[in-house]
Structure 1
Amino acid sequence: MKRDRSLDVLIPPLELAGTLTLPEKARGLVAFAHGSGSSRFSTRNIAVAQGLNARGFATLLFDLLTPQEEQDRSNVFNVAMLGQRLVGTVDWLQGLEPAVASLPVGLFGASTGAAAALIAAAQLPHRIAAVVSRGGRPDLAGEALPHVRAPTLLIVGGADLGVIELNKEALSWLGGPSALEIIPNATHLFPEPGAMNAVIEHAGRWFGRHLQAPTSVRAAS
């Protein structure tokens, strides 16, 4: 029976706390960017991470803010800063053991974390292989959207009125392959029976299809 290996990590230079989970023979690594007011202990993101682990993907759940920064509510919505934290985290991953550093990297963003993930993907076109947004605000990535080359999946609840329209608008601006999946009758946090399972299924299929080294990286290797 295969067993996942979980490590508690501190990501420099701010020592951001996280959990890195490594299945045997991982096929890729997905870093999570949680939404406003959440943390690496988000039960929803943990559920998605476990679903991805079962499909052979390594995952990194980590806090984008220090405990002190969390006291200032405005930091939660500073998607430019959060995007830079993700860029730094991807750089940090490249310095880990070869079995981890060699994995293609995907990003999973929820709520405002989706915008941060897209900003990071725009800055790292040769490093980020795929992006998935859950109930996200990709529109907050603004001018970064046309520069995103990674295949991007936007998942929205069918009853998440207003957010659906914002996702459709963001979809039209994305520069790479993209798709929108609407989960029928689901609200913003996907608490309805079966809704999170649908999110996990869509995310797993998307990463399974697209999470491989970007072409330029493969060509250079």
Structure 2
Amino acid sequence: MIKRNALVTGGARGIGAATVKALAADGNRVFINFVNSTQAANDLAKEIIDAGGEAIPVQADVRDDAQVKAMFDKIDEFGGVDILVSNANMNFTPKPFTEQTWEEFSQKLNDEVHASYVTAQLAARNMKQKKFGRLIFISSTLSEDPAPNFIAHGSAKGALDSMSKYIAQELGQFGITSNIVAPGLVLTDATKGSGEDFIEFIKSMTPTGRVAIPEDVANTVRFLASEGASHITGTYTPVCGGAYLP
């Protein structure tokens, strides 16, 4: 089996960490991107190595082009990125449309699309040479199913959804797929503050009767990253137990 190089941005915690584990379990060499979570990234890499896998932490702020280029230069020493999971979380200001400034709105939009665009572009250049590539962008059901105060987040993810379709159309001829994975609410450290009442409400609105865990998202990503998903591109896959039905 060919050992592929998989880069997961924001890979040290939550959905990213679960995805790193899943891709490593499938025999990929995983690169764990992080900014501040040094200990978490190192612990995750050790866990994978101890289990017989190959994992390398790489620090870079994916909003900074110079840091991103340095990260890709390091991965190029191993043959370049074959699988990119664009997962890094970008903070945003939750406000109603009528109260949010353009600066608050555009900060999220720019951070989200910029990071995904630049990392995907660098990855795709290597993928074209190999005639193989998997680009997977972590979006949100909020891009299609609006919620109060999430206009910056949902709009940024919506731009990501559209971008992925264009990439899929352009790069399919080179054996490169581009897909969106759109989680609903996922139980992670970042969502622990949501409150039990809110979580129970989401469960009541979800056909499967539960809220997602990071592994639910990771298992979707691992399929789209696999050799068997070569004819799936340009898709939007909600991972929300049917809470959002397009």
TM-score by length of 1: 0.41
Which has the higher Rg, Structure 1 or Structure 2?
2
Q: As a proportion of its length, which structure holds more strand?
A: 1
Higher fraction of helix:
2
